[in-house]
Structure 1
Amino acid sequence: MKKGSDPPRQRTLPEMVQEQTTIIVELDPPRDLDYSLFLEGAIALKDAGADAVTMADNSLAMTRISNMAMGTLVKEQVGIRPLLHVSCRDRNLIAQQSHMMGLYVLGIDHVLAVTGDPPRYGNLPDAAAVYDTTSFEMIRRIKQLNEGISFSGHPLKTRTAFTVGAAFNPNTRHLNKAVERLEKKIAAGADYAMSQPLFCHQQIEQVAQATQELSIPIFIGIMPLTSYRNAEFLHHQVPGIRLSDDVLAKMARYQGEDARKQGLEIAMELVDTVHHYFKGIYLITPFMRYEMTAELTRYVKSKGHEGGIAGCQPSLL
């Protein structure tokens, strides 16, 4: 490379997933000020072969260290791509644009626009929810920054280059309605989608069938379970997550380390099904047990790059 020339452009995740199995792993920022375990987990995930570490934006309305701060540490100290969730819940439009401009300055260019869980679910239930904008509108506004235009319509003197993701929740009674909602996000400018975790092989197949005509890649969520109590909580208490009776029954048989082994085995079986239809896999780390998602990452990598194409499954056409 000649002196003074620009470095080669790094491929975006949507570009990568069209060619090979691509793995995003979620690692929640800590709820206290000790972030050593978080960085340890990010290093382990990079070493396992993850393509990006994604960080929620105060998920379940629980106060955590800013994902902007943790994303910067991941990028600079670990050397793996950060993918930040951007919630509509906590910032008005002024703060949202300021936040996005800050990400641009820090060189963080992959985001996921989400509505955000209501404050009543979190540790500060009396906090005000802003919701100045919807996730649909947030996607459109971020893509507007890519045109060099601010939220207010004024020029920014340069353009951002954000790759914008959309949340996709197939865990609904009417899958077609969820797909229609995702289509609206695609129309708003979404470049890829990340799904809520799925726990049923048949449901994964149904999602593949329902999304085969979509124009963007989908990263299917897989979350290893740690215990029967964990499984029950997710099934009954967490919006957008539904477990099959078979998975609940399997987890009910085990405790302690045996339960975690069973949770990992269930996740690997689900990965096998996802791999048949999709090349994008989104692993969600439970309770900072990064060794579980690192093991799953290695398992995915061991299967090679063959598989379906997210958003266009040839085996179903």
Structure 2
Amino acid sequence: MGILDSIKQDKILIADGAMGTLLYSYGSDCCFEELNLSQPNQIYNIHQAYLNAGANIIQTNTYAANYHKLERYGLQDQVKEINGAAVRLARKAVTNHDAFVVGTIGGIRGIKPQATPIEEIKRTFREQLYCLLLEGVDGILLETFYDLEELETVLSIARKETTLPIISQVSLQEVGFMQNRVPISEALSRLEALGADIVGLNCRLGPYHMLSTLEEVAIPKHAYLSAYPNASLPSYVDGKLQYESDADYFTEAALSFRDQGVRLLGGCCGTTPAHIEAFSTALKGAAPVTEKKVKTRERMTVVTPPAKKTAPPLFEKAKKEQSIIVELDPPRKLNTDRFMQGAQALKDAGIDAITLADNSLASPRVCNTALGSIVKSEIGLRPLIHITCRDRNLIGLQSHLMGLHQLGIHDVLAVTGDPTKVGDFPGASSVYDVTSFGLIDMIKQFNQGISLSGKDLGERTSFSVGAAFNPNVRLIDKAVERLEKKIESGADYFISQPVFSEEKLMEVYQATRHIDAPIYIGIMPLTSSQNANFLHHEVPGIKLTKDILEAMGKHKDDPKQASQEGLTIAKGLLDAALELFNGIYLITPFMRYELTVELATYAKKYGPFHSSRRMHNV
């Protein structure tokens, strides 16, 4: 008799609970799947504990035993050994029990679906699937899938390779929905149509939210329902995750799951043999439900309101005429008087926007969003806020975007950010949950009124998204390819690193003539010979010509003349840049805003007489 035969006898089967939670509580903090080889008794004893608690189905300790995840530990060449040992341990455990063994395969994609190509998932999945099937499992459990495309792909493969029962479980993003806004009822129907024998939910949320979701799910016509809730929401205490839900709560929840038509009930994160025993005891002899009333409620079919009216995007001006933006870095110290004086002077010079870097060179500065908001409200100058991926995780980045929207700041520059080791705190963590590409995607999704996780934001944002462009490379074509990929992600315009030669300006122009997105060319006045040498030799992405280094070197002992020489060089570059590009990006060195004010004034005087000669984006 197999798993499906048991269910057809009007039984509600009880599955086991968490493996990792118990191993973690025992002090294991490594690759849990490797313990199949190094600590087999520990795995065997956990299986026994769940069987003694009343489980009819136990899963192999193979959730992450695939090439992709084992590679993190240097164990990618032991896929066969780890999966094989896991099945043998589970088989040994059920020897004296009326129970089944299912081979577990966990999802790979998380909140960033495109991070793992589907072809890589296929290869990884097939290898693990074959290992489990060769060892002789009673079924396959596909669990904790956040991305429906991934689960549909691997389910289709598994269905072609075996006639064994397949359990396919997705994870909730919020009640009723997966992270890509697919309703759970639709997802489970699609899995049933692809041949899954049991469909359901596991992980992420506890009984309360799972039950709320199952209320909206009809009992499948050809498959059965399953549920593996977490014990509770975890807390973080003394450096460890803890689940505090007691087993009595699961006793109460068991009958509610039965009433929703669940025929396979187990546990996920935080659950222990005590929780499984609560399920088993509560449902002993209980008859399954074969009909139920499906709750219908107003789905989130509410049309997201259009974005609020804002000023035309900054980059639209650069498509038609001269546009000047100036970077003025937030100060490292709390006194912002000089910064505000600079912002006012730049406003008086007639620039279009002030750009504020986000802790440039990984050194802490006054929050650029706070200063941008003050500049906007007190001076009336448009702020363009840089956002790095280094300092905020996915939660923080989304919160940050929501805050910018509320402040009415809609011009942003998405950058990956300098690594922390170059800054004041080299031991600090660099987050990098996403790169600039992922951040651009996220911002564009916000413009559709949808968060990265697929939740409805209630209204659309109206961000115009800039991206960084480094033309100071040996092979300009490679830099342009990267630029084109950023356009595919949704970049509206580009801001370049400072350019220090007319030849490079012409090279950039020729290489980007086919691109419609405006490019703001970076021009930065040099302040001294030391400044020039530092930029040339130590700052990534910046190279100066021999002529410029020599010109600045002539004034190494005369700061005033050196500064004047830097302005002369910058004006010459401006002359060349304005012949080719509408967008100019002036970079203020060391808060010396008088330099960029002079350059902005020079460019404004230059523009009207030569606008017809500008070639880029005309």
Corresponding residue for 2:37?
none
> How far apart, in 2, do the equivalents of 1:79 and 1:137 lie?
31
Corresponding residue for 1:105?
406
Counterpart pick for 1:63 among 364, 372, 382? 364
CA deviation digits over 1:46-65, x for unaligned, max 9? 00111100000000011101
Corresponding residue for 2:319?
18
Counterpart pick for 2:560 among 248, 257, 266? 257
Q: In structure 2, the residue corresponding to 1:182 is in which secondary structure?
A: helix
Corresponding residue for 1:308?
614
> How far apart, in 2, do the equivalents of 1:13 and 1:105 lie?
19
Greater length-normalized contact order (CA 8 Å, ≥ 6 residues apart) = 1
**8 Å Cα contact 2:578/2:607 also seen in 1:** no
Larger Rg: 2
**8 Å Cα contact 1:50/1:297 also seen in 2:** yes
Corresponding residue for 1:4?
none
Counterpart pick for 1:293 among 596, 603, 615? 596
**8 Å Cα contact 2:469/2:496 also seen in 1:** yes
* CA drift at 1:8: 7.5
Corresponding residue for 1:150?
451
Counterpart pick for 1:222 among 523, 537, 561? 523
* CA drift at 1:14: 1.3
> How far apart, in 1, do the equivalents of 2:363 and 2:520 lie?
25
CA deviation digits over 1:94-147, x for unaligned, max 9? 000000000000000000000101111111111100000010111011010000
**8 Å Cα contact 1:217/1:309 also seen in 2:** no
Corresponding residue for 1:199?
500
Q: In structure 2, the residue corresponding to 1:303 is in which secondary structure?
A: helix
Q: TM-score under structure 1 normalisation?
A: 0.95
Report how many residues are paired: 306
* CA drift at 1:308: 2.2
> How far apart, in 2, do the equivalents of 1:280 and 1:301 lie?
12
* CA drift at 1:43: 0.2
> How far apart, in 1, do the equivalents of 2:331 and 2:537 lie?
24
The runs of at least 4 aligned residues of structure 1 exceeding 6 Å deviation read none
Counterpart pick for 1:35 among 298, 320, 336? 336
Counterpart pick for 1:280 among 580, 583, 586? 583
CA deviation digits over 1:14-45, x for unaligned, max 9? 11112220001000001010001000000000
Residues 67-78 of structure 1: pairs in structure 2 closer than 5 A: 67-78=368-379
**8 Å Cα contact 2:328/2:339 also seen in 1:** yes
> How far apart, in 1, do the equivalents of 2:553 and 2:499 lie?
18
Counterpart pick for 1:79 among 365, 376, 380? 380
Unaligned runs of 5+ in 1: 1-6
> How far apart, in 2, do the equivalents of 1:304 and 1:182 lie?
27
What is the Cα-based RMSD across aligned positions, in Å?
1.2
* CA drift at 1:10: 1.9
* CA drift at 1:309: 4.9
Q: In structure 1, the residue corresponding to 2:541 is in which secondary structure?
A: coil
- Is 1:164 the counterpart of 2:164? The answer is no
Counterpart pick for 2:549 among 239, 244, 248? 248
CA deviation digits over 1:234-283, x for unaligned, max 9? 11111111111111011001121100000000000000000000000000
> How far apart, in 2, do the equivalents of 1:36 and 1:12 lie?
29
- Is 1:123 the counterpart of 2:424? The answer is yes
Unaligned runs of 5+ in 2: 1-307
Opposite residue 514 of structure 2, the aligned amino acid is: E
Percentage of pairs with the same residue: 55
* CA drift at 1:9: 4.4
> How far apart, in 2, do the equivalents of 1:69 and 1:78 lie?
14
> How far apart, in 2, do the equivalents of 1:131 and 1:145 lie?
19
Q: In structure 1, the residue corresponding to 2:542 is in which secondary structure?
A: coil
Structure 1 window deviating more from structure 2 (239-248 vs 292-301): it is 239-248
> How far apart, in 2, do the equivalents of 1:165 and 1:54 lie?
11
Opposite residue 302 of structure 1, the aligned amino acid is: K
> How far apart, in 2, do the equivalents of 1:247 and 1:62 lie?
28
> How far apart, in 2, do the equivalents of 1:17 and 1:28 lie?
23
The 1:309/1:105 distance shift into structure 2, 3 A limit, reads: farther
The 1:147/1:55 distance shift into structure 2, 3 A limit, reads: same
**8 Å Cα contact 1:18/1:309 also seen in 2:** no
Residues 229-244 of structure 1: pairs in structure 2 closer than 5 A: 229-244=530-545
**8 Å Cα contact 1:224/1:263 also seen in 2:** yes
> How far apart, in 1, do the equivalents of 2:323 and 2:527 lie?
24
Q: In structure 1, the residue corresponding to 2:412 is in which secondary structure?
A: strand
